[in-house]
Amino acid sequence: MPAKLSTHVLDLTTGQPAAGMTVELFRFDPHPPVLGQPTLLRTVVTNTDGRTDAPLLAAAEMTPGTYEIVFHVKAYFIARRVECTFLDRVPIRFTITDAAAGYHVPLLVTPWSYNTYRGS
C-alpha cells in the first residue's frame, strides 16, 4: 500500500457515498508531553464517490504524529433535508506511526451514529 492518507464517507441512510461533505484535516503539535493546539492542514469536500479528489496527505507529506479528521455531518444531512439533531461534527483522532505506510480512515454515518476503522 503506497504511503498516503485518504478517507471515504458512506451515508448509511441511503447506502450511497456521501457526496458534498466538508472534511477538515488537522495535525497536532508533536511536542510531548501534552498535545498542543491543532493546525488546520486542509479543508476539502467529498466528491460523488464520497472520496476526496486527492489524498488528504500525499506520500511526501506523510509525517509521524497525531492527526484529526473532522467530518461536517450535520451540514451534510441538513443540505439533504434530513433532520440531524444529534451529531454535528465528527472528529476522528488517530496517530500515524509509519510515514511509509498507507492510512485510510473511512466514515460510515447516519444522523445518529457513526463508525470508522483503519482501512486499506
Q: Tell me how far apart the alpha carbons of residues 42 and 119 are, in angstroms, rounded to a whole number.
A: 21
Q: Which CATH number goes with the domain that contains 39?
A: 2.60.40.180
Average pLDDT over residues 34-44: 87
- How far apart CA 88 and CA 95 sit, in angstroms, is 23
Domain that holds residue 22: 4-116
Q: What is the pLDDT of residue 2?
A: 85
Domains of the chain: total: 1
In terms of pLDDT, which residue wins out, 3 or 33?
3
Sign of CA dihedral 103, 27, 44, 12: positive
Mean pLDDT of 19-41: 85
Give 44-73 pLDDT, tens digit per residue: 999 999 999 999 999 999 999 999 999 999
Sheet holding 22-28, edge to edge: 38-45, 22-28, 65-72, 89-96
pLDDT grade for 1, boundaries at 50, 70 and 90: low
